[in-house]
Amino acid sequence: MDWLSRLRGEDPVAARWRAAALVNEATELSKTNRHTEAATASEQAVSLLRAIRRVPRTEIAPLLAHALVRHSIALAALGDLAGALRDAEEALELAQAVPTGSGHSELLPTTRANLAFWLMKSGRAADAVPHIRAAADSTARLPEGAAAWIQGTLAQVLAAAGEDAEALAVSDRNRIALQRRVEATTADVALDVEQARAAANHAGRLFEAGRWQEAAETAAEAVARHRALAARDRLGRLPNLAMALTNQAVILSKVSRWEESLAASEEAVTLQREITTADPVAGLPGLAAALSSYATGLAAADRIAEARPLMAESLEIRRALVAADRGAHLGKLAEVLSNCAFLAETGEENLPLYEEAVRLRRELSAQNRAVHLPWLARVLNLYANQLAAVGRLGPALDAGHEAVESARESFAANRAGFLPYHAFVLREQARRLDEAGQPAVAIALGAEAVAVCREALGANRVRGLSGLATALNQQAGRLLALPAVSVRQAEEAAALRSEAAALLAERDRG
């Protein structure tokens, strides 16, 4: 008879102690990226608690909710977002049934925040917002650490929902509150970790808001803080330092600080190799991501020959990871296939890679449309561009049309979050229609692109200036390229170009 059979319904006290130990074990396993083992431990805890019969459910509910939260985290890391959502929803239902004043004040807001996070990751940011706002409204009664985590999640969910300004304001308030806690407390490693994480998250919020110089400064702070933590606990903290370096590299590239950006990416790869040598299971996904990011940076700096072998290595790792666990790694394989295709020297090389990426994105979209349809739109747009580049305009227009329709559906599901890319996909398809000699259709789609770009400008002026200027200039060019340009069309084109020039001048003034 195994331990679960011995404990089922016979010794509820021992069962609860064992379940609590399994929840703690799952927490520690997740910290070292041992997600399969974490899923097993947390699943055992859930099964053990469900089997208890001689104790009122309200007494079991708090620990069962915690076990379900841990299981949701492990499942999501393994690519099972549907399972993560299912567990998160049940955890919230259990928390709602726990009587107030029972000593579990953190349970309801933390389970709400957990559900909000997985809704966001599942492409349902709009559905996540009410949950995270409700959780955030309860933080005044919580310990400072739990409150800070919920407020940080609020900033992430708002950003995913396209509410960049509010997300940045929340992140800024969190940083101020954290600094006050630091000033009022003696040295505390947990607070040091919190500060490093908060700096990294705030850099992301600044980046999304178009405040790139400030983002670069804050990303440097995050790296410095993670580096100090790694000096105390190298293997335990290296993954976070490597991630902070990768994020810093992306931000530095945005402000054209290429040498610093590439140095940060190169260091991230070096650290990920060290992590992988010590623990291949935990390290390989991070190494693949770091290699891809470094290769992308090298390509942007016009060092494509150096980028190709790094991206190829990333692809090799991703294929091996998919062979071991398809569900957990298929999305990342599709992403690196697109990157490899973009870096390929010829159409003969890159078209099969794009086709495989499209095939995988279709498979993933069939499983979870909200998450993967935006990525399908992206890869279809890239595939359409390459088909056009090799003279296959008919198939290019077909792929581009599907990209537009996928983008429209994604836009309808998350208007604010997908707004900038929807505008980009419309502009790209209108450009391909220009090349195919279909001016009437191109002008209609170009007008839609201009309208969406105006909306994007209203949502985030700094980020939207270049996109609208491009759409206006493209539309003006279409009007002037008509076989017979009317006075009205010439005047409209002139007005579009004048507006575009003003927007570009504003962008250049900073």
The per-residue pLDDT for 11 is: 75
The per-residue pLDDT for 200 is: 95
Grouping H, G, I as helix, E, B as strand and the rest as coil, residue 148 is helix
Residue 295 in any domain: the answer is: no
Counting the structural domains of the chain, the total is 1
Look at 278-282, 310-314, 401-405 and tell me which has the smallest mean pLDDT: 278-282
List, for residues 290-307, the tens digit of each pLDDT value.
999 999 999 999 999 999
Would you call 438 exposed, middle or buried from its count of C-beta atoms within 10 A (0-12, 13-18, 19+)?
middle
Residue 206 in any domain: the answer is: no
The per-residue pLDDT for 440 is: 94
Compute the average pLDDT of residues 311-326. 95
Query: Whole-angstrom Cα distance, residue 135 to residue 160?
Result: 17
| Residue listed under structure tokens 């099969």 | 352
The per-residue pLDDT for 92 is: 96
pLDDT at 83 over 60: yes
Contacts of residue 200, Cβ cutoff 8 Å, sequence gap at least 6: 219, 222, 226, 243, 244, 247
Query: Whole-angstrom Cα distance, residue 264 to residue 268?
Result: 6
Query: Mean pLDDT of all residues in the chain?
Result: 91
- Sequential DSSP letters for 322-378: HHH-HHHHHHHHHHHHHHHHHH-SSHHHHHHHHHHHHHHHHHHHHH-HHHHHHHHHH
Compute the average pLDDT of residues 141-167. 89
Q: Where are the alpha helices (DSSP H) in 98-188?
A: 107-121, 125-136, 144-160, 164-183
Grouping H, G, I as helix, E, B as strand and the rest as coil, residue 439 is helix
pTM of the predicted structure, to 2 decimals: 0.85
The per-residue pLDDT for 1 is: 40
Residue 392 in any domain: the answer is: no
Compute the average pLDDT of residues 195-223. 94
- Sequential DSSP letters for 284-305: HHHHHHHHHHHHHHHHHTT-HH
Which letter, b or e, does each residue of 31-52 get, where b requires 16 or more Cβ atoms within 10 Å of its Cβ? eebbbbbbbbbbbbbbebbebb
The per-residue pLDDT for 268 is: 98
Residue 508 in any domain: the answer is: yes
Longest dimension (CA), the chain: 89
Query: Whole-angstrom Cα distance, residue 269 to residue 275?
Result: 10
pLDDT at 213 over 50: yes
The per-residue pLDDT for 346 is: 78
Sign of the CA dihedral with 296 first, then 302, 306, and 309 last: positive
The per-residue pLDDT for 510 is: 72
List, for residues 111-144, the tens digit of each pLDDT value.
999 999 999 998 888 899 999 999 999 888 888 8
Compute the average pLDDT of residues 215-242. 94
* Of the candidates 453, 411, 416, the residue with the CA atom closest to the CA atom of residue 166: 416
Which pair of structure tokens corresponds to residue 31? 């910290």
- E runs forming strands in 280-376: none
Residue 497 in any domain: the answer is: yes
pLDDT at 408 over 50: yes
pLDDT at 9 over 70: no
Residue 509 in any domain: the answer is: yes
The per-residue pLDDT for 7 is: 45
Residue 210 in any domain: the answer is: no
* Helix/strand number for the chain, H first, E second: 23, 0
Look at 98-107, 316-325, 366-375 and tell me which has the smallest mean pLDDT: 98-107
pLDDT at 371 over 50: yes
The per-residue pLDDT for 10 is: 54
In contact, 481 and 439? CB cutoff 8 Å: yes
pLDDT at 250 over 70: yes
Compute the average pLDDT of residues 489-504. 96
Compute the average pLDDT of residues 248-257. 94
Give the model's confidence band at 15: pLDDT under 50 very low, under 70 low, under 90 confident, else very high. Answer: confident
List, for residues 450-480, the tens digit of each pLDDT value.
999 999 999 888 889 999 999 999 999 999 9
Look at 3-7, 152-156, 170-174 and tell me which has the smallest mean pLDDT: 3-7
pLDDT at 8 over 60: no
Residue 72 in any domain: the answer is: no
pLDDT at 328 over 90: no
Compute the average pLDDT of residues 489-503. 96
Who wins on pLDDT, 5 or 32?
A: 32
Give the model's confidence band at 222: pLDDT under 50 very low, under 70 low, under 90 confident, else very high. Answer: very high
* Of the candidates 447, 444, 408, 442, the residue with the CA atom closest to the CA atom of residue 425: 408
Which structural domain range is residue 455 located in?
426-510
Give the model's confidence band at 191: pLDDT under 50 very low, under 70 low, under 90 confident, else very high. Answer: confident
The per-residue pLDDT for 446 is: 96
Give the model's confidence band at 162: pLDDT under 50 very low, under 70 low, under 90 confident, else very high. Answer: confident
Alpha-carbon radius of gyration of the chain: 25
